[in-house]
Each structure stands twice: as C-alpha cells, then as structure tokens.
Chain A
Amino acid sequence: MELHSTKQKQALNELFQEADLLSSTQIRDQIVGQLYRKSHQLVKEGVSFTKNKFDHRTEKLDAIFTSPVFGFPIMLVMLGVVFYLTIAGANIPSSMLAELFGWVEGYLTLFFTELNAPDWLHGVLVLGLYRGTSWVISVMLPPMAIFFPTFALLENYGYLPRVAFNMDRLFKTVGAHGKQSLTMAMGFGCNAAAIMSSRIIESPRERMLAILTNNFVPCNGRWGTLIVLASLFMATGFTGGMKTIVTTSVIVGIVLFGIIITFLVSWVLSKTALKGVPTHYTLELPPYRKPKFFDTVIRSSLNKSWSVLVRAVKVAAPAGILTWILANIQAGDSSILLHIVQFLDPLGQAIGLDGFILMAFLIGLPANEIVLPILLMGYLSTGALIDVDGIEDLKKIFIDQGWTWLTALNMMLFSLLHYPCGTTLVNIYKETKSAKWTFWSFIIPTGIAFFVTFLIAQLARILNWV
C-alpha cells in the first residue's frame, strides 16, 4: 500500500516535470484562441440572421441607467421608491397583525386561568414564547412581504447588474472588486446568504473584502428595527404622506451611511491587511427582460418571506423564553436580567443607548430579527405590563424608559454597524476556513459601531441637542 503510493507519487512527479518542460506561457492563449475560432466558425455556418435591425431597446435603456450623469440619481430614486413602498405599505398590516395577536393573547390568558395553570407556565408560554414570536411576526412580516417581491422584480428585470456597473468605479478606487456590489445587493436580503454569494469574486483578497464589509448592508432582520424606530422617532413633526417620505429619507440615509462605511473599511483594508490591486473581470449586462410579474411576486414573497420568518420564529421562541426566565428569576434584590442590564448600563449610556438595548443586542446574536422584541420584553418586565395594541403604543414604552431621538438614532446606527448575526458568522467561518478572519469580521464592525455611536452621543450632549 505505502509502496504503491510512493511509486504513484514518483510517476506523478515525472509527469509534472515533463509537463513543465513542454508548457509555455502562451498555451492558455492558444487554447482559448482556438476555442473562439471554432465557436466563430460554428456560428457562421449554423446561424443566420433574417432581421438586420437589432433590438436597440436594451442599449437605449443602458444609456440612461448607466449614464455618468443620471446613473447615480436613478439608483438613489429606485432605492427610495423600494423603501417608500415598504414603509408605506407595511404600516397598516403591521398594526392589524399586532392587534390580532393581542386579541388572541387575551383568550390564551383566559384559557390558562380556566385551567388553573400556574403563573410561571403562563409566563413562559404566553408572555415569553407567544408574545416574543408574535411581535417578530407583526413587525417583520409586512415589510418583508413588500420588500422582497419589489426587489426581486428589479432583479429579474435586469437592473441589478447595472447597479454593479455604476458602482464598479467606486469599488475600484477603494481597491475592491466591482462584483462586491452584487454581494451587497444580496446582503439587503440576508447577510448570511450574501457571504455565500461572494464566491462569484475570483480573487481571494477581494472576496475577503466583500465578506468583511457585507455586514454594513442592513439585512432583512434589521429592516424591522430600522423601519420601526425611524417611523417612531425620526418623523415626529410630520403626518400623513410627508411622514412616510421623511421616514424613507432617514432609512435611505442610513443605508447610504452603511455604504460609505463599506467603502471606507474596504479602502483601509486594501491599504493595510489586504494589500493588492483590484483584478479585472467581465460583467455581463443581460438584456432587460420583462419579469413574470405574478410568478416573481408570489415566489419571492412566499418563499423568501416564509423561510426568513421561520428562522426568526425558531430563534425568537427560545429567546423569548430565555428573556422571560432571566427577567423572572430573582438573584438577590433583583432579577438576573436587571443585574445584566445594570452591568451593561454605563457602557450603553456612553454610546447614547442603555443597558437594556445592549442586552437585547447580546441575546439577539443568533438573529437580528429578535433584537427589538427582546428589548420590549426587557422593558416590560421592569414595570406594569402595558397592552401593546399597535406600533404607536410602542413609542410610549420607549419614552417611559427615557428614550430621545438620540437613543433611536444610535440604536439604528448600532444595528446597522454592529457584529454580524450568528448564522452569518458561521458562514464566514465556513467560507474563509479561518478563525482569524471570522474574528476580524466580528471585531471590525463592532468597533466601528461603538466608535460611531460614542462620537454622536458625546457630540449631541456637548452641543446640548438632547
């Protein structure tokens, strides 16, 4: 057996030596050249054109969508429109769902009292499990059911490669790969999936840049948090349609800020730890194709929303139970939850947040979807239970806890910038096979999140804005 393999190795080495002698640097060019000549010949023989005039629609549209003048404004408007539709459309179904779940909860509580069930059981199952999950669903499902199909329609129409085309120059300037904008686009849906999609980038260096910065694109799990906080705190002086527009602008601003941070981090990394020159690549701009409307809408809203939701609920249920238990087991004079919160509070205050928010982000590590529900459960566990009938009622809870616009803004920024979720981290490890880079993908965003929120909090306090 051993003998066999050494003999085999020897033969292989001889083969390699022989090949080295024969190989030349032009051989790849010759092979590919021959392939192209053959393809050309085949097409010349086997394909005929009856129409001389080509369809110029795609070229005409590209002249607009990828124009140096209109390209970026159009991208911004598209982004704005998608978010506007999401926010405007999600409001009413969200509060309706919340109401529905609240109504069911009343009956559940009644049912538990009927059964003479012990208080702790009711607490764990209804106040922990049921409430945690139902909040996740009512906050997340409506925006998702609008955002995913809209995005998928743009994608299937063929607009996304144009975005990549527009962004290419910017990425080149910071030393990254143009296809990074495609992985970023995937990140809007789910960072964990986007990490996998970074395989389309050939060079390992640029792929690592895409992986390390993907987190700065808010994923679906964070949309809920961003949208709720923006609509509660950022558009207070406005009503009706204006309110939605202001909320949308805030969200677009947050997304742009994330993109700026992406460029900044890519630039710093490509000048330091990941030095190198961006490689060339071919970006295919497919013809614009009219998407199959219902097919796309139904497939993406059902499939994607459903799978993300299932994941959220899977995590939300245990996290809800955990939070309830932590909040209800007494250690000394207060609950375990409060001990954790008090421990985290000074750090939280320094960056304009509080101990509860940091605790929610910690428990929310497995999935960003549950951060807001956990936070609410934490807040509610401290005082009398308030019935939350709609999204607007949430604001009362936050205000009672001493929230200002600064708290909301910094929580949004922290959510945008902080460490990737557990699934994403696992995927980063799987893709890079490196504990070191997985660690950095945790530390870099977290460091930036603390730095940015600290800066804003201190600035706002010095200037007496709050």
Chain B
Amino acid sequence: MSNFRIALCGNPNTGKSTLFNALTGLKQHTGNWAGKTVEMKKGVYTYKNDQYEIVDLPGTYSLYSNSLDEEIARDFIVFGNPDITIVILDATALERNLNLALQVLEMTNRVIICINLIDEAEKLGININEKLLMRRLGVPVIKISARNKTGIPMLLDTVSRVISGVIQCTPFQIEYDEETERKIKILEPMIDRIVGHDISARWLSLRLLDGDRQLFEQIEERKARNREVLINGATFHKTKTGIK
C-alpha cells in the first residue's frame, strides 16, 4: 500500500469540484460560477490498495501567475510534488480549455487530460477523437462525465498505470518561433546549473523570458529552507546517536 498525490487543475466551471466529489466522496458544495474554489481542498480515495490524496486546485484560465489563484495552482503543480497532475477540460469549450493543458504539459511530466462534460458535448453534436489528441499530446486523454460518473473507472485505472510507469508520458512541448527558441537555448543551460533537474529548465526559461523573477526567488527560498531542514535533521540525528 503506497500513498500518491494527485493535483487536479482546470479552467473555472469545468466540473473540477464535481469530479473531486465523485472521486473522494467528500461532500463539498460546487457552484456554477467562475472561481469558486479559492482554497485548495484535499480529499482521499483508495484504488487497488493504494491511497491517493487528491488536491483540488483553484480554477484558472492560465498559469502565468496573474492572480493569487493562478499562483497557488502553479506553485502546487511545480513545488507540491504531485505524482500526477490531472487537467480537466470542458468538452464543450475545448479550444479555450486546451490552452491550460498545453501550459501544464510544459511544466510537468506526468499528466492526464480529462475531458469532462462529455454528455453535454454529445448532446451538442460535438465528437472528440481522444485517440488523436492522445497521440498529439503524448499523454493519456480520457473522456468522462463527472456528473453522471461515466469514465471514472477508466480514469482511476489510468492514474494508477501512469504512476506505476506502465503508461509512459511524453508530454508535447510547444515549439515557439525561431527567435524565442534561440533565447530558450541560451537560458536553458544556465538555469539547469542553478536550479537543477527537478523543474523543467525549458519551462523556467520561458517564465524568465516573460519576466517572472519572483518564481526564481521562490525557488531559491525553498532550496534554502530545505538545506536548513537537512542540517537541523543531521544535528538532531547526531545527538540522538550520541546519547546512545
């Protein structure tokens, strides 16, 4: 029995909280309006003897940290060490929703894309070829209806298989114009040296080109804190053995 952590992100009003409720059974009110989840809600479910902690991130349209919500969501995906990030998309507004998915694919390796409200889309005559999207995006794409609880078993199974490595993700990386790509190439090795491999250097380069210095200061802060914990932990260990 192991513990895993799942981050759940998506645009506002895509049924994120409904999926969260369906998975965890934790009762929580979901409203039909933008920006309902302002705090992160946590819930737990078990699947095949493994325990999954699922975190419901605030609904956002992008992850460029324009607002506190976006910053909370971004920070959790990058620093919260989720074993997997589920991006939930509204099947009836796929084009707008895909923007967020593409951003998440740049940030982290293990992603599942979940197309929700598929029942509504079918009613509207929208047919989505998830196999094609899966090939293009390099990560599992699953159609669900969180309201009617269809597609959930498939989702749970995929989550466990991605985490165990049975399914390999190769998230699609957007190719930018030549100018931007050249700049990324210059910054990437520098960032690699400073930050290490934990966070995608390509994504960090993009963020830096966009002027997000605060993100780097935050990384430094987190590192410093980690070192401190490490040192304190070591001294604590020493005294303990000393007593022995």
Q: Which residues of B contact A268 (CB under 8 A)?
A: none
Contact B190 A34, beta carbon cutoff 8 Å? no
- Asked whether A18 and B190 contact (CB < 8 A) given A27-B210, A286-B13, the answer is yes
Which segment of B43-51, B89-97, B151-159 sits at the interface?
B89-97
The residue on A at minimum CB distance from B103 is A35
- Known A22-B187, A200-B38, A287-B92; judge A50-B125 contact (CB<8 A): yes
Decide if A283 is an interface residue (CB 8 Å cutoff): yes
CB contact under 8 A between A39 and B95, given known A45-B132, A283-B34, A286-B32: yes
- Indicate which residue in B32, B125, B137, B191 contacts A157 across the interface (CB closer than 8 Å): B32
A-B residue pair count with CB separations less than 8 angstroms: 167
Residue contact B69 to A200, C-beta cutoff 8 Å: yes
Residues of A within 8 A of B191 (CB): 15
Across-interface contacts of B31 in A (CB, < 8 A): 152, 155-156, 160
With a cutoff of 8 Å between Cβ atoms, the chain B residues found around residue A38 in the complex are: 98, 102, 174
* Contact of B35 with A182 in the complex, beta carbons under 8 Å: yes
A282 interface residue per 8 A CB criterion? yes
A113 at the interface (CB under 8 A from B): no
B194 x A15 contact (CB < 8 A): yes
Complex: A440 Cα to B163 Cα, angstroms: 50
B102 lies within 8 A of A197 (CB): no
Known contacts A8-B220, A30-B176, A284-B12: does B194 contact A22 (CB below 8 Å)? Answer: no
Complex: how many Å from CA A152 to CA B136?
40
Contact B127 A47 (CB under 8 A): yes
How far is A157 from B30 in the complex, measured between Cα atoms in Å? 11
B residues 182-197 in Cβ contact with A at 8 Å: 183, 186-187, 190-191, 193-194
Report if B208 contacts A (CB, 8 A).
Answer: yes
A124-161 interface with B by 8 A CB criterion: 152, 155-158, 160-161
**B242, CB-defined interface residue at 8 Å:** no
Residues of B in contact with A, size category: 35 or more
In the complex, A32→B102 CA distance in Å? Answer: 10
Contact B124 A55 (CB under 8 A): yes
User: Does A103 touch B at the CB level, under 8 Å?
Assistant: no
**A399 within 8 Å of B (CB atoms):** no
* Known A-B contacts A39-B99, A283-B34; A15 and B208 likewise in contact (beta carbons under 8 Å): yes
A interface list, Cβ under 8 A from B: 1, 5, 8-9, 11-12, 14-16, 18-19, 22-23, 27-28, 30-32, 34-36, 38-40, 42-43, 45-52, 54-55, 152, 155-158, 160-161, 164, 179, 182, 196-197, 199-202, 282-284, 286-287, 289, 291-292, 299-300, 303-304
19 extra A-B contacts, CB within 8 A, seeds A199-B67, A199-B68: A22-B187, A22-B209, A28-B64, A28-B210, A31-B176, A34-B174, A39-B94, A42-B98, A43-B98, A47-B126, A47-B127, A152-B31, A155-B31, A164-B33, A199-B69, A200-B34, A284-B12, A284-B34, A304-B29
Binding site for A on B (CB under 8 A): 11-13, 27, 29-36, 38-39, 58, 61-62, 64, 66-69, 92, 94-96, 98-99, 102-103, 120, 123-130, 132-133, 136-137, 147, 174-177, 180, 183, 186-187, 190-191, 193-194, 206, 208-211, 213, 216, 220, 224, 227
